[in-house]
Amino acid sequence: MERNTELERVAEIFVGDWTVTITNQWWLDDPTTVSSGTASCEWLGDSFITLQAEFDGTPTWKFVFGRNDARDQFVVLYHDERGVLRVFELALDDGSWTMLRTDPDFHQRLLGRVDGDRMIGSADASEDQGATWRKDFDLIFTRAR
């Protein structure tokens, strides 16, 4: 079996080892707090890509990128240390990416753009089906290799 050619586009952006910095975390008492960690992203077989991020040595985020060919759509499964499970749609657009979740409890979006060996992004949430958004946090992925 050969790799999914459309998923190769996702791999070009995400696959590798990264340092991760998170700032402006709305849930913290001190929004100037900087959280640092690492992330590793790699192929899982020929049809999936996994990304795992750790902060303070604890696995925190796990993503699995895949594709629904019939819908011509990238799909991202998410899990974190709280036991939260979510599904996002992923769109790629000329050096930028958007992960969007539009579930009944609330909506989320992660926006990122590639800038050389970095991905600069932000995460937002909406509790009114996308009418208004609040910042969750800002993040920077810097390629470690």
What is the reported pLDDT for 31? 80
pLDDT tens figures, 107-126 = 999 999 999 999 999 999 99
d(CA 115, CA 66): 24
- Of residues 56 and 38, which shows the higher confidence score? 38
Longest CA–CA separation in the chain, Å: 50
pLDDT confidence bin for 72, thresholds 50/70/90:
very high
Give ∠ CA 33-37-139 in degrees, rounded to 5: 60
Indicate whether 58 pLDDT > 80: no
Model pTM score: 0.92
Closest to 7 (Cα-Cα) out of 85, 79, 78, 64: 64
Contact assessment for residue 119 and residue 111, using Cβ atoms and an 8 Å cutoff? no
Scan for tokens 């998923």, then name that residue. 7
pLDDT tens figures, 11-39 = 999 999 999 999 999 888 898 899 999 99
